[in-house]
Amino acid sequence: MSSSQPYPLPAKTPLYCALEGKALLSTPTFNKGSAFTATERTTFALEGLLPSTIQTLDQQVQRAYGQYRACDSDIAKNAFLTSMKEQNEVLYYALLARNVKEMLPIVYTPTEGEAIGNYSRMFRRPDGCFLSVLEKGKVEGLLAGWGGEDEVDYIVVSDGEEILGIGDQGVGGIGISIAKLVLMTLCGGVCMLRTLPVILDCGTNNPDLLNDELYLGLRQPRVRGREYDDFVDSFVQAVRKLFPKATLHFEDFGLGNARRLLEKYRPEMACFNDDIQGTAVVTMATIIAAAWVAKVEVLDLRVLVYGAGTAGTGIADQFRDVVIEGGKSKVEAVKQIWLVDKQGLLLHSHSPTLTPAQMAYARADSDFVSVNTRDLTCIVRAVKPHVLIGTSTHPNAFAESTVKEMSTHVPRPIILPLSNPTRLHEARPSDVLAWTDGKALVATGSPFPPVTLGKTGKTYSIAECNNAIAFPGIGLGTVLSRADRISDKMLLAAIRRLAEHAPALKDPDAPLLPDVADVREVSKDVASAVIRCAVREGLARVAGIPKEEEEEGERELKMWVEMQMWEPEYRPLRKAGPEESSRAAKGELGVVRRA
Ligand SMILES: NC(=O)c1ccc[n+]([C@@H]2O[C@H](COP(=O)([O-])OP(=O)(O)OC[C@H]3O[C@@H](n4cnc5c(N)ncnc54)[C@H](O)[C@@H]3O)[C@@H](O)[C@H]2O)c1
Ligand SMILES: O=C(O)C[C@H](O)C(=O)O
Ligand SMILES: [Mg+2]
């Protein structure tokens, strides 16, 4: 399939809407509240339903910000923003866009984790698509209600089994699908009208939820095996049939399923597992920047991963592939990586309990006979890693002794405690920096405030090494190129481009990654690199991408990307009749049937 159609909702195009009156006011994708113009108020039967003053979006943002600040806790702020999203999406995104740094921790990690944990208690109005394993036969029909083949660009799906580091949250996992899509729109510029959050409700093994009489999901143990696989497959096949141009993003699936599903579907379609690939991209970019500051060759690094699950093995594989790309053999590359999990350092003797992904890095027991392989400090002493990564959900696992041991072997230890939410981090940046007299190069999975060291008075900003820095650019690139698949090379292109944006490349004391507030700008560039790579690999399915050979080609590509990014501003609203509705179904107009 090929398509020459430009992204169907460039900035400033009018929206066509068949709703009017109260129905329009309660439809968040079209509602403008006090900003409806005089003409729109007449055309859409809004007179008498609004106070007479017509406000600008800026005035609305100012009011909303005051209301936000009046909320007395982070979770109350999260609830306020959720209800704003349910009232007026443009205002919601405009408010976020003007306050990214302040509000991202509220709508995303870490506060969203708390909201997901309390989903059934905080529930007011549903958002997203709920598919139940008990109704497998209905999956395609239910998805079809979300639009035609040109109307959906990006889908985030979770089965709620391994949300952040807080485990099985059942149907509450819809919250992570929504949160990731908020970032896709805010930082990746994919129009929210063309995104789809999905939860596959397969039951839950969380006893608190099973015993909670207010729990909203299926109150039964998780379905496993064939029944689970068939259900997921019915969903994926329906997506491929109904939305053949969309990218499918898997989020927070359990350890037993995440990698398996990615490997199954990756050769067939544009799909992506954020915990494996998104995390690997952002972490690898961080490592490249840190190696540059530490003046060590990336290809020579020794990497120790603590927590060898979905994220940890994804990072290990990505590092291995970068080393191979740099000219070493697979055997040599694997020798630079050590994995630690609950058993301690992974050894051949653990093989009956290891997953294939872990097995690839298991070490010969004979090499470690004199090492206490259950003690992280002893492992560090033996391995002398340059890089220590935490993806274990084990809080404070990186003790002072471990970090100090590491810094006796390498001058600039690279320490990345990545477990989310904040309370699960393997170490706090303030401790790591204090223990190493500011020598450590640190980035964390959740946001942390800057650290000032008492001894020197020097202040360090802490980079957020969260896949949120990477997936919006990768997603935007696949959406705009309508890529057929997401190849390793496309991910590698994203890594290299992201690493170029590290503030530390210009100032070695600056953070290892761009600030979250800059991700939208960075995403344009990451998307351009991904698109260019997709074209080279013959995976792009859209015409009109500025050519590489042309002079100015790269600048034009970036402009081509930028032009198609959605921005939170009100579009003129036009009345939709039957003709517009039929054009909308073909993706020619920005009307959304689900509105
Ligand atoms: N910063 C990011 O962008 C990012 C991305 C993905 C995941 N994460 C975080 O990483 C953590 C793990 O996520 P995941 O999806 O890989 O989960 P997972 O369940 O697949 O993996 C966790 C692994 O840690 C191991 N583990 C648990 N306790 C341990 C201990 N005490 N010692 C050593 N190993 C231990 C588990 O056995 C498992 O193999 C979560 O907190 C998640 O929020 C962060
Ligand atoms: O959601 C996040 O904050 C990052 C990551 O996907 C995770 O599961 O922790
Ligand atoms: Mg995740």
pLDDT in tens, 482-499: 999 999 999 999 999 999
pLDDT of residue 587: 56
* Residue % of the chain over a pLDDT of 90: 89
**Active-site residues: which are they?**
108, 180
* CA distance to 45, 52, 81, 83, per residue, from 63 (Å): 25, 17, 13, 15
Is 396 annotated for ligand binding? no
pLDDT digits (tens, 9 = 90+) for 117-148: 999 999 999 999 999 999 999 999 999 999 88
Cβ-based neighbour number of residue 488 at 10 Å: 15
Best of 466, 513, 516 for a ligand 2 pocket test (most atoms within 8 Å of beta carbon)? 466
CA-nearest residue for atom 3, ligand 2, is 109
Q: Check if 467 has its Cβ closer than 6 Å to any atom of ligand 1.
A: yes
* Annotated binding residue 251: yes
Domain ranges of the chain: 22-274, 297-456
Q: Is the CB of 275 under 6 A from ligand 2?
A: yes
Q: Is the ipTM of this complex over 0.90?
A: yes
Provide the CA 316 distance to its chain's centre, in angstroms: 19
Give the number of the ligand closest to the Cα of residue 466. Answer: 1
Amino acid identity, residue 15? L
Question: What integer pLDDT is reported at residue 4 of this predicted model?
Answer: 43
Mean pLDDT, the chain, integer: 94
Of 454, 485, 430, 444, which Cα lies nearest the Cα of 265? 485
State whether CATH 3.40.50.720 applies to domain 297-456: yes
Asked if 289 and 282 count as a contact pair (C-beta separation under 8 A), the reply is no
**Which amino acid residue places its CA nearest to atom 6 of ligand 2?**
275
Which residues are CB-contacts of 38 (< 8 A; sequence separation ≥ 6)?
54
- Looking at domain 22-274, its CATH architecture is 3-Layer(aba) Sandwich (3.40)
Is 466 marked within a binding site?
yes
Beta-carbon neighbours within 5 Å of ion ligand 3: 252, 275
165 ligand 1 Cβ < 6 A: yes
* DSSP symbols for 88-127: -HHHHHHHHHHTHHHHHHHHSTTHHHHHHHTHHHH--S--
18 has pLDDT over 90: no
Q: Specify the pLDDT at position 21.
A: 96
Sequence-distant (≥ 6) Cβ neighbours of residue 29 within 8 angstroms: 89, 192, 193, 592, 595
Spatial distance between the Cα atoms of 15 and 27, rounded to a whole number of angstroms: 13
Question: Model confidence at 3, in pLDDT bands (50, 70, 90)?
Answer: very low
| pLDDT reading at 593 higher than 60 | no
Mean pLDDT, rounded, for 239-255: 97
For residue 1, the model assigns a pLDDT of: 37
- Determine the pLDDT at residue 316: 98
Q: Is the CB of 162 under 6 A from ligand 1?
A: yes
Flag whether 420 is marked binding. yes
Identical fold, 22-274 and 297-456: yes
